Every structure is written in structure tokens, then in C-alpha cells.
């Protein structure tokens, strides 16, 4: 009978011992892990610690200070407002390096082709589309739409990278901008929804 009591007491002590061990490890100070110890003695080299920014160079015929080319700026919002975050899928990619130079060349070529239409006051969607397809862009990669009697908007998918050019032709100017498509979307048109 003595044996049975000792076993019951030992069984009753087991949960108390486990509880004592668990609470002993719950202090406010944590011991340094092996990974922390390694990182403190072997810091990450500075050249690897940050993501690199794509390199730019001066494109032919460009002014000395190259900047990324983008069609639209991202929407700004007050802190706590998630508009910009929720509409980030509509912010186009900027172009860098050779893609940027290709975009600037396409913009110059398109603006030059549309300038005679602006000077003659021809602000029709059909004329704009005809001038753009006349540059060799396939008809299924060119969009144009009239914005009232004296303005036309256009969008051209220059190549499948994608390299996109959009802009407006109006009485005052012909303006085009190159960009590199959109996140989570193929093609040059503005996506209608994200995730």
C-alpha cells in the first residue's frame, strides 16, 4: 500500500514540476540565440543590406540629369488612409536603363507623328489612330478616344516587355509618357481591379 501512495504523490508532483519549469523560462529578458550571436559578430556587408536601385544612364539626345519615366504618379493619401495602398495596382512601373531610353525614343517618335494633326486642328480618334498605326504599331496595340471636340487621348503598346506610351493631343500640345505596364496585369491599359 505504501507503494501505491508514493506513485500517486509522484504523479501529482509531475504537473507541478512541469509548471515550475515552464514559468521559470518566461522572464522579461531573453537569452541571445545562436543566430543573434552570429549576426552580432558577423554583420551584413552594407552593399548587400539594401535592395539596389536600377541604374540609369543618359539616353541619346537627353539632358544631363536622367529621371525615371512614368505616365502617372501614385495617389497620395493621408496617414491611416489606405487609398494609395488599395489602388497601387493602378500605379505604372517606371522605366530604367535601356528600357527608359527606348521609351523616350518612342515618345519622341509618337509626338513628332501627332504634331501635324495638332497644327491642323485634326482632333479625331480615327486620324490619331491612323497616324500611330502609320508608325508601324499593329492596330490591336493602339487605342485612341476623343476627349471633347479639341482633344484626343491615346495608348500604344510599343512592345510586349511591356513598353507603353500614353498621352493626349490637344490644341495646346502633344504630350506623351512612357511607362512599363502595371503590377499584377499584362498589357498597357489601366487595370480595373487588383487583389
- Best CA proximity match to 114, nearest among 93, 95, 97, 135: 135
Between CA 91 and CA 182 the distance in angstroms is: 6
pLDDT, tens digit (0-9, with 9 covering 90-100), for 76-133: 555 566 766 666 677 888 999 999 999 999 999 999 999 999 999 999 999 999 999 9
The pTM assigned to this predicted structure is 0.63
DSSP for residue 72: S
SS3 177: strand
pLDDT, tens digit (0-9, with 9 covering 90-100), for 43-78: 555 544 455 667 778 888 777 664 544 444 445 555
Which residues partner with 180 through β-bridges?
none
Q: Is omega for the bond preceding 95 within 30 degrees of 0, making it cis?
A: no
What share of the chain has pLDDT > 90, as a percent? 41
Side-chain half-sphere exposure of 62, counting CA atoms within 13 A:
20
Lookup result for grid cell 500500500: 1
Q: What is the pLDDT of residue 175?
A: 95
Asked whether the beta carbons of 132 and 155 are under 8 A apart, the reply is no
Range in 94-98, 145-149, 155-159, 184-188 the model is least confident about:
184-188
Alpha helices for the chain (secondary structure H): 2-24, 34-41, 46-49, 83-86, 97-120, 125-133
Asked whether the beta carbons of 137 and 159 are under 8 A apart, the reply is no
Amino acid at each position: 500500500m505504501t507503494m501505491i501512495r508514493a506513485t500517486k504523490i509522484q504523479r501529482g508532483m509531475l504537473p507541478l514540476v512541469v509548471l515550475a519549469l515552464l514559468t521559470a523560462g518566461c522572464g522579461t529578458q531573453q537569452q541571445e540565440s545562436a543566430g543573434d550571436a552570429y549576426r552580432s559578430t558577423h554583420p551584413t556587408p552594407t552593399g548587400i543590406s539594401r535592395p539596389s536601385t536600377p541604374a540609369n544612364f543618359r539616353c541619346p539626345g537627353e539632358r544631363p540629369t536622367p529621371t525615371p519615366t512614368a505616365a502617372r504618379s501614385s495617389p497620395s493619401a493621408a496617414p491611416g488612409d489606405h487609398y494609395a495602398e488599395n489602388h497601387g495596382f493602378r500605379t505604372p512601373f517606371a522605366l530604367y536603363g535601356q528600357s527608359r531610353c527606348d521609351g523616350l525614343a518612342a515618345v519622341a517618335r509618337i509626338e513628332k507623328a501627332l504634331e501635324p494633326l495638332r497644327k491642323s486642328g485634326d482632333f479625331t480618334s480615327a486620324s490619331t489612330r491612323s497616324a500611330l498605326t502609320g508608325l508601324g504599331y499593329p492596330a490591336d496595340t493602339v487605342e485612341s478616344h476623343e476627349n471633347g471636340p479639341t482633344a484626343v487621348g491615346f495608348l500604344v503598346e510599343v512592345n510586349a516587355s511591356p513598353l507603353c506610351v500614353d498621352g493626349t493631343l490637344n490644341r495646346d500640345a502633344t504630350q506623351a509618357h512612357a511607362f512599363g505596364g502595371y503590377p499584377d496585369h499584362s498589357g498597357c491599359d489601366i487595370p480595373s481591379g487588383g487583389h
